[in-house]
Amino acid sequence: MSAFRLAFALGAVLAGGCARRPQPTEAPARSASPRRPKAPIPAPAWALKDVDGHVVRSDQFRGKVLVVDFWATWCRPCLTEMPALRALENARGPDGLAVVGISVDGNPAAVRKYLQHHPTHFPILMADDKVVDAFGGMDGVPTTFIIDRDGMIRGRMYGLQKAAELERRVAACLDAGAAEK
């Protein structure tokens, strides 16, 4: 078992869940002086295998707004969030949105079993330690990233996201990209 999977499992047991839920990084601080949003940073390049062993690369999504969701089949908030991700991709895919799920399960068979009962139209890939590190590590799942059309990370969200908030943040990236065209 990799150190990454061991840390997730131990964290889930100790925390009594699968994710801590701090506010999104761009949310203003609750103090009198609001915190400025973090500057966007370039998203890492990656190549990961899907549950059938086919390689999917980040550059396949160049020019699209990309939602990258780190999740697990054993994480109840992750499973609760999946229908919203499917609906978001169905609704905004024609506008240039793509969604990628990256499972931290470590066991493609468990993910395949989940997908048999809950199919998605977006790719479900298997995480490795390298990609988790490239995204800055994970304190838990779900952890969701919004990447703009220029490959810049515009949001990192922890825990279960409300569908309306996810849609609002994705729409801001899609609308910004449409205005620049």
Instruction: Please check whether residue 27 lies inside any domain of the structure.
Output: no
Six token digits for residue 166:
């996810």
Assign residue 137 a region (left: φ > 0; alpha: ψ between -120 and 50; beta: otherwise). Answer: left
Count of domains observed in the chain: 1
Q: Tokens 């840390």 — which residue?
A: 7
Domain that holds residue 160: 3-15+42-180
In a domain, 86, yes or no: yes
Q: What is the pLDDT of residue 13?
A: 35
Helix or strand run (H / E) with residue 173: helix 163-180
| Residue 37: inside a domain | no
- pLDDT tens digits in sequence order for the chain, 181 residues long: 455 554 444 444 333 346 443 333 333 333 333 444 578 999 999 999 999 999 999 999 999 999 999 999 999 999 999 999 999 999 999 999 999 999 999 999 999 999 999 999 999 999 999 999 999 999 999 999 999 999 999 999 999 999 999 999 999 999 986 655 5
CATH at 68: 3.40.30.10
Question: What are φ and ψ of residue 176, in 5° steps?
Answer: -65, -40
pLDDT of residue 25: 36
Q: Is residue 35 part of a domain?
A: no
DSSP 65-114: EEEEEEE-TT-HHHHHHHHHHHHHHHHHGGGTEEEEEEE--S-HHHHHHH
Pairing of strands 41-42, 152-158: antiparallel
| Tokens, residue 73 | 């089949």
pLDDT of residue 38: 74
Instruction: Identify the bridge partners of residue 67 per DSSP, sorted by sequence position.
Output: 99, 146
Rounded to 5°, angle at Cα 121 from 108 and 152 = 90
Cis peptide before 142 (omega within 30 of 0): yes
- What predicted TM-score, i.e. pTM, was given to this entire model? 0.81
Structural domain includes residue 119: yes
Cα Rg of the chain, angstroms: 16
